[in-house]
Amino acid sequence: MVTSENKAPTGPYHGADIKETRPYSPCRAACPAHTDVQAYVGLIAQGRYNEAFEVIRSVNPIASVCSVICHHPCEQACRRCAVDEPLAVRHLKRFAVEQSKEYRRSKRKLLPKTRSKSIAIIGSGPSGLTAANDLAELGYGVTIYECHPVLGGMLSSAIPSYRLPRELLQEDIDDVLAKGVEAKTNCEIGRDIMFKDLMKKHNAVLIAVGLSQSRSLNIPGVEGPGILLAIPFLTDVAFGGKPELGNKVLVIGGGNVAIDVARAALRLGVKNVSMVCLESAEEMPAWKWEVDEALEEGITISHRRGPKAVQRKDGRVQGLEVVKVRSVFDESGRFNPSFDNEQTSLIEADTIIITIGQMTNMSFLKDSPVKTDERGRIEWNTATHMSSVNGVFVSGEVITGPGSAIAAVSSGHRAALAIHLYLQGESIEGALPPQEKEKIAQLPADVAEKIGKEPRQKITHLAPEVRCDTFTHFEIGYDEQEALKEAGRCRGCGGGAVVDTKKCMACLTCQRVCPYGAPVVTAVSEIRPEYCQACGLCAPECPGQAISMVSYDIREIRNSMPSVVGAVDPERQEPVIVAFLCTHHVGVHGFDLLKNIRAVPVHCTSRIDILDMLKAFECGADGVAIVRCSDGTCKYRGISTRINARVNRVKELLEMLKIEKDRIGLLSASSTNGNPWSAVCADFTERIKQIGLRTVRS
The Cα–Cα gap between 387 and 571 comes to 73
pLDDT at 506: 96
Looking at 238-247, 312-321, 588-597, which range is the least confident one?
588-597
Instruction: Clarify whether residues 647 and 565 are in a common domain.
Output: yes
State the residue range of the domain holding 42: 3-107
Query: Stretch 40-55: mean pLDDT, rounded?
Result: 94
Please report whether residue 489 resides in a domain. Answer: no
Please report whether residue 326 resides in a domain. Answer: yes
Among the candidates 357, 386, 404, a domain finishes at 357
pLDDT at 376: 77
Query: Stretch 460-488: mean pLDDT, rounded?
Result: 93
List beta partners, residue 628: 668
The pTM of this model reads: 0.93
Nearest partner of 495 among 12, 41, 84, 73, judged by Cα? 41
HSE-CB at 504 with a 13 A cutoff on CA atoms is 22
Q: What is the CATH number of the domain that holds 30?
A: 1.10.1060.10
List beta partners, residue 623: 577
Q: What is the CATH number of the domain that holds 579?
A: 3.40.50
Query: Stretch 654-664: mean pLDDT, rounded?
Result: 96
Q: What is the CATH number of the domain that holds 521?
A: 3.30.70.20
pLDDT at 58: 96
Instruction: Clarify whether residues 265 and 164 are in a common domain.
Output: no
Among the candidates 55, 79, 107, a domain finishes at 107
For 580-624, what is each residue's pLDDT tens digit?
Answer: 988 876 665 556 788 999 999 899 999 999 999 999 999 999 999
Write the CA distances from 432 to 305, 409, 412, integer angstroms.
44, 15, 12
CB-CB contact of 596 with 576 (8 Å): yes
Looking at every residue in the chain, the average pLDDT score rounds to 93
Please report whether residue 441 resides in a domain. Answer: no
Please report whether residue 492 resides in a domain. Answer: no
pLDDT above 50 for 478:
yes
Please report whether residue 186 resides in a domain. Answer: yes
Reported confidence tier of residue 13, pLDDT bands at 50, 70, 90? confident
Instruction: Clarify whether residues 569 and 638 are in a common domain.
Output: yes
Instruction: Clarify whether residues 311 and 384 are in a common domain.
Output: no
For 358-400, what is each residue's pLDDT tens digit?
Answer: 999 889 998 899 998 877 789 999 999 999 999 999 999 999 9
The Cα–Cα gap between 674 and 173 comes to 41
pLDDT above 80 for 673:
no
- Go through the chain and tell me how many residues it has: 698
Among the candidates 357, 390, 410, a domain finishes at 357
Q: What is the CATH number of the domain that holds 383?
A: 3.50.50.60
Q: Helix, strand, or coil here: 525?
A: strand
Q: Helix, strand, or coil here: 482?
A: helix
Instruction: Clarify whether residues 626 and 565 are in a common domain.
Output: yes
Please report whether residue 474 resides in a domain. Answer: no
CB-CB contact of 365 with 372 (8 Å): yes
Instruction: Clarify whether residues 82 and 140 are in a common domain.
Output: no
CB-CB contact of 127 with 396 (8 Å): yes
pLDDT at 575: 97
Instruction: Clarify whether residues 243 and 255 are in a common domain.
Output: yes
pLDDT above 50 for 9:
no
Number of domains in the chain: 5
Please report whether residue 346 resides in a domain. Answer: yes
For 487-544, what is each residue's pLDDT tens digit?
Answer: 999 999 999 999 999 999 999 999 999 999 999 999 999 999 999 999 999 999 999 9
Please report whether residue 481 resides in a domain. Answer: no
For 78-127, what is each residue's pLDDT tens digit?
Answer: 999 999 999 999 999 999 999 999 999 999 999 999 999 999 999 999 99
Percentage with pLDDT > 90 across the chain: 86
Percentage with pLDDT > 70 across the chain: 96
Instruction: Clarify whether residues 178 and 219 are in a common domain.
Output: no
Contacts of residues 509-517 at CB distance under 8 Å and 24 or more positions apart, as own/partner, are 509/538, 509/541, 509/542, 509/543, 510/538, 510/541, 510/542, 510/547, 513/537, 513/538, 513/541, 513/638, 513/642, 514/538, 515/450, 515/636, 515/637, 515/638, 515/639, 516/447, 516/450, 517/446, 517/447
Instruction: Clarify whether residues 167 and 247 are in a common domain.
Output: no
The Cα–Cα gap between 296 and 465 comes to 10
Instruction: Clarify whether residues 222 and 316 are in a common domain.
Output: yes
List beta partners, residue 325: 339
Instruction: Clarify whether residues 139 and 70 are in a common domain.
Output: no
Instruction: Clarify whether residues 588 and 605 are in a common domain.
Output: yes
pLDDT at 672: 52
The Cα–Cα gap between 476 and 480 comes to 13
